[in-house]
């Protein structure tokens, strides 16, 4: 993971979470252009693809081709998302720098997303983590719907704690609390971050926030106040979940970077260059994305 002790690390998930949420399938060459622009804007960790069923997520069917086409150099980390052991096997055969093992704490969402119950997904997640460790590959764990889902309501805090304990015991180094449905609020962020830290003090905490109810940046602010330094964000505020109707996009990378800058926390992002990437994406998709920081709202130099 990037060493940024005095700042904030933003993990760009637009090329995965964002692209999978759009109906149009971008050619690999366009994806490479966008990722190159993200690198030029200062982002150093990018979730470039996922190794999932291409029939269910055709927007990301070119994962192997894209990873092979991207520039690889020291200081840049490409992560890929996986949902089962088969996905990890594919990821281990790719040049991905880190493998994200994603499982859902919502039983209904887990069954729809992976065909596994919550308990089955947790056991498989432990085996997936063990596969990565045996292969000597870096991995992170994301707990989808940690704050609940519209499908089956809140997730009891005790289940979050149990999952954290089991995954930390399997060797997890980073655990991402993912608000997949966008139901979190600042008190819930405080509760789950505290649970994560108490249950697994040696594990790096991170947050993956969606803005379904307009509290995305408020939740990020509370997490920053609690000392969390790693956040998944998406350029332009792209994103959603194909298996959770109504879920809004991720907190925008440019808005989060601007918030951090106003708090004196360095994210290493060139906002003007990043806004150009969003404008390029808007041209590709023929739509306007929800990020508030745009050319006209940037502070004068």
CB atoms near residue 237 (< 10 Å): 26
Measure the CA–CA gap between 284 and 261, rounded to whole angstroms: 29
**Residue closest to 1 by CA, chosen among 13, 11, 16:** 11
What confidence category does residue 244 fall into, taking pLDDT thresholds of 50, 70 and 90? Answer: low
User: What is the rounded average pLDDT of the residues 59-71?
Assistant: 96
Cα separations in angstroms, 176 against 58, 139, 189, 260: 25, 11, 12, 19
What confidence category does residue 300 fall into, taking pLDDT thresholds of 50, 70 and 90? Answer: low
User: What is the rounded average pLDDT of the residues 195-204?
Assistant: 97
Q: What is the pTM of this model?
A: 0.94
Question: Which residues contact residue 103 at a Cβ distance below 8 angstroms, ignoring those fewer than 6 apart?
Answer: 83, 110, 114, 118, 121, 122, 124, 125, 141, 142, 143, 144
Residue that wins the pLDDT comparison between 3 and 49: 49
In this predicted structure, what is the pLDDT of residue 295?
Answer: 78
Query: Any idea which of 149-158, 163-172, 189-198 has the lowest mean pLDDT?
Result: 149-158
- Using DSSP, state whether 23 is helix, strand or coil: coil
pLDDT per residue as tens digits for the range 124-136: 999 999 999 999 9
Residue 178 has pLDDT above 50, yes or no: yes
Measure the CA–CA gap between 125 and 103, rounded to whole angstroms: 7
In this predicted structure, what is the pLDDT of residue 5?
Answer: 55
pLDDT per residue as tens digits for the range 5-45: 568 999 999 999 999 999 999 999 999 999 999 999 999 99
Residues belonging to the active site? 241
> Which tokens sit at 104?
């859902």
Percent of the chain with pLDDT over 70: 94
β-pairing, 138-144 vs 45-51, is unpaired
Query: Of all helices (H) and strands (E), which one includes residue 143?
Result: strand 138-144
**Domain residue ranges of the chain, discontinuous segments joined by +:** 9-297
Residue that wins the pLDDT comparison between 88 and 113: 88
Query: Any idea which of 16-20, 115-119, 219-223, 295-299 has the lowest mean pLDDT?
Result: 295-299
Residue 2 has pLDDT above 50, yes or no: no
What confidence category does residue 4 fall into, taking pLDDT thresholds of 50, 70 and 90? Answer: low
What confidence category does residue 245 fall into, taking pLDDT thresholds of 50, 70 and 90? Answer: low
Residue that wins the pLDDT comparison between 247 and 97: 97
Query: Of all helices (H) and strands (E), which one includes residue 49?
Result: strand 45-51
Place of tokens 């499908």: 151
pLDDT per residue as tens digits for the range 147-157: 999 888 999 99
In this predicted structure, what is the pLDDT of residue 150?
Answer: 86
In this predicted structure, what is the pLDDT of residue 227?
Answer: 97
What's the CATH fold of domain 9-297? TIM Barrel (3.20.20)
In this predicted structure, what is the pLDDT of residue 76?
Answer: 96
Residue 58 has pLDDT above 50, yes or no: yes
Percent of the chain with pLDDT over 90: 89
User: What is the rounded average pLDDT of the residues 100-117?
Assistant: 95
Average pLDDT along the chain: 94
């Amino acid at each position: 993971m990037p060493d940024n002790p005095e700042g904030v690390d933003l993990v760009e998930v637009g090329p995965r979470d964002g692209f999978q949420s759009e109906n149009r399938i971008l050619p690999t060459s366009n994806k490479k252009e966008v990722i190159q622009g993200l690198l030029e804007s200062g982002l150093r960790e990018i979730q470039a693809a996922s190794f999932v069923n291409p029939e269910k997520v055709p927007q990301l069917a070119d994962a192997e081709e894209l990873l092979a086409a991207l520039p690889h150099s020291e200081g840049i980390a490409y992560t890929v998302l996986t949902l089962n052991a088969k996905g990890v096997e594919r990821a281990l055969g790719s040049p991905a720098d880190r493998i994200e093992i994603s499982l859902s704490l919502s039983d209904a969402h887990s069954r729809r997303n992976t065909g596994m119950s919550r308990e089955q997904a947790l056991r498989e997640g432990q085996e997936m983590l063990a596969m990565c460790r045996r292969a000597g590959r870096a991995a992170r764990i994301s707990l989808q719907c940690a704050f609940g889902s519209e499908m089956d309501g809140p997730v009891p805090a005790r289940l979050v704690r149990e999952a954290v304990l089991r995954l930390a015991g399997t060797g997890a180094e980073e655990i991402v609390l993912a608000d997949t449905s966008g139901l979190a609020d600042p008190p819930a962020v405080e509760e789950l971050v505290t649970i994560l830290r108490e249950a697994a003090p040696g594990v790096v905490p991170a947050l993956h926030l969606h803005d379904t109810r307009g509290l995305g940046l408020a939740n990020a602010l509370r997490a920053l106040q609690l000392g969390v330094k790693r956040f998944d964000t998406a350029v332009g505020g792209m994103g959603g979940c194909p298996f959770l109707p109504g879920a809004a996009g991720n907190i925008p990378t440019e808005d989060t970077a601007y918030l951090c800058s106003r708090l004196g926390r360095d994210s290493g992002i060139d906002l003007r260059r990043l806004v150009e990437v969003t404008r390029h994406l808007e041209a590709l998709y023929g739509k306007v994305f929800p990020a508030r920081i745009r050319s006209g709202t940037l502070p004068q130099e």
